[in-house]
Amino acid sequence: MSESFDPARWRPAAFLPEQDARDPALIFAIAVLCFLACLTALGVIAGDRAAHGWAGQLTGEATVIVRARGGETPDAAAARAAETLAGVKGVSEARALEKEKAYDLIRPWLGDVSDLEDLPVPRLVAVSLDRKQPATAAGLRQALKAQGLDAVVDDHQIWIKDIRQAAGVVRWTGAALFLLIALAAAAVVAFATRAGLAARRDVVEVLHLTGAEDGQIANLFELRFARIAAISGAFGATAAALAGGLLRLVGGGQGITPALPIAWLDLLAVLPCPLLAAIVAAVAARLTARRLIQDL
C-alpha cells in the first residue's frame, strides 16, 4: 500500500463503482434480447428475398388456355394463339405446349383414359413476358379476341398478390417484434437504472451535495448503461450472425431451404445492433434516472 502515487499520472476515476458495470445477469438479458432482435431482422430479410424471387418468377410469365372453336383442331388453335401472342408488344416468347402436357394436367381428374384424342381438351400456351415492360393480361386477351380465339389468360396476378401480401405480413410482424424487443430492452435498462440508483444512493447524494446537476448525474447512468448495452449487443449480434451462418451452411447454396434463403451478406445486418442497443439503453437510463433523481 505504500507504492508512490504520482499526481501527474492521475486519471479521474468513474464516479460510479466500476464493478457495477459488470453485472452478468444484465449483460446476459440484453444480449439475449439483441440476439432475438437480430434473428428477427435476418428472418425478415430472408423472407423478403424469398417473396421477391417468387413474385419475380411469376411476373415473368403467363399461361393461356386455348379452346378450339369451329372446325379448327386444338393443335391448330394453340399454334395460332402462340403466333398471335408472340406478336404482342411486351411478350418475349410464346410457345404452345405439347398436348401431353395438357393431358397431364387433366389426368388426375379423368383418370387414365385411353382415348383422350376424342376429347376436346384445351391446349396451353406458355408466354414469357418482357421483364422490363411486361404485356398486361388485358392486352393479351384483346389480341386473342381480335383473332377470334377462345382463350383464358392467367397472368398469375392472384398468386403474386398473395405472395406480396404474405411478404407484407412478414415485414410488419418483424417490425412489431423488433419494436417489442426494443421496448423490453428499454424496460430492462430502466429497471437496472432504478436498482443502480438505489444501490448507489450514497454516491448520488454526495454528488448532489457537492453541486452536481441532475443532468450530470443522469449522464453517469446514461453512459454506463449505453456501454453495457453496446457490449451486450455485440455479444447478441455475434451469436445471431453465427446462428445465421450455421443455417446458411446447413442449407447449402440456397440457404436453409429455398423458402428462406440467407445470403452471407445478410449477416452484416447484425452490425448496427450494438449501436441501436446503446441508444435504446441510453434513452431508457436517462429518462429513468432523471425522473428518480428529481424525486430524491
Partner 1 sequence: MRYGRGPDVLSDISLSLPRGSFHFITGPSGAGKSSLLKLIYLAARPSAGTVRLFGEDVAGMTARDLPRARRRIGVVFQDLLLLDHLSAFDNAALPLRIAGHKPSEYRGDVAELLTWVGLGGRMHARPPTLAGGEKQRLAIARAVVNRPEILLADEPTGNVDHEMALRIYRLFVELNRLGTTVIIATHDQDLVARSARPVLHLDKGRLKPLPPQGPTT
The residues binding partner 1 (CB under 8 A) are: 1-3, 5, 7-8, 10-13, 15, 17-19, 202-203, 205-214, 216, 294
With respect to partner 1, which residue has the nearer C-beta, 10 or 109? 10
Interatomic CA distance for residues 244 and 249, integer angstroms: 9
Q: How far is the CB of 266 from partner 1 (least distance, A)?
A: 44
Cβ neighbours of residue 46 closer than 8 Å, sequence gap 6 or more: 255, 260, 261, 262, 266
Please report how many Cα atoms fall inside a 13 Å half-sphere around the Cα of residue 145, on the Cβ side.
8
Q: How far is the CB of 222 from partner 1 (least distance, A)?
A: 17
How much helix, strand and coil, in percent to the nearest 5, is found in the chain?
70, 10, 20
The distance from CA 51 to its chain's CA centroid, rounded to whole angstroms, is 10
Helices (H) and strands (E) in the chain, counts: 8, 4
- Element housing 129 (H / E): strand 123-129
Instruction: Please name the amino acid found at residue 184.
Output: A
DSSP-derived pairing of the beta strands 123-129 and 91-96: antiparallel
With respect to partner 1, which residue has the nearer C-beta, 216 or 257? 216
Interatomic CA distance for residues 223 and 259, integer angstroms: 42
For residues 19 and 223, the answer to whether their CB atoms sit within 8 Å is no
With respect to partner 1, which residue has the nearer C-beta, 133 or 294? 294
With respect to partner 1, which residue has the nearer C-beta, 37 or 292? 292
With respect to partner 1, which residue has the nearer C-beta, 2 or 133? 2
Q: How far is the CB of 216 from partner 1 (least distance, A)?
A: 7
Interatomic CA distance for residues 149 and 78, integer angstroms: 9
Q: How far is the CB of 9 from partner 1 (least distance, A)?
A: 9
With respect to partner 1, which residue has the nearer C-beta, 162 or 214? 214
Q: What is the dihedral of CA 107, 112, 114, 116, to 10 degrees?
A: -10
With respect to partner 1, which residue has the nearer C-beta, 3 or 118? 3
28-41 in b/e burial notation, b at 16+ Cβ within 10 A?
ebbbbbbbbbbbbb
The partner residues of 93 in beta bridges, in order of sequence, read: 128
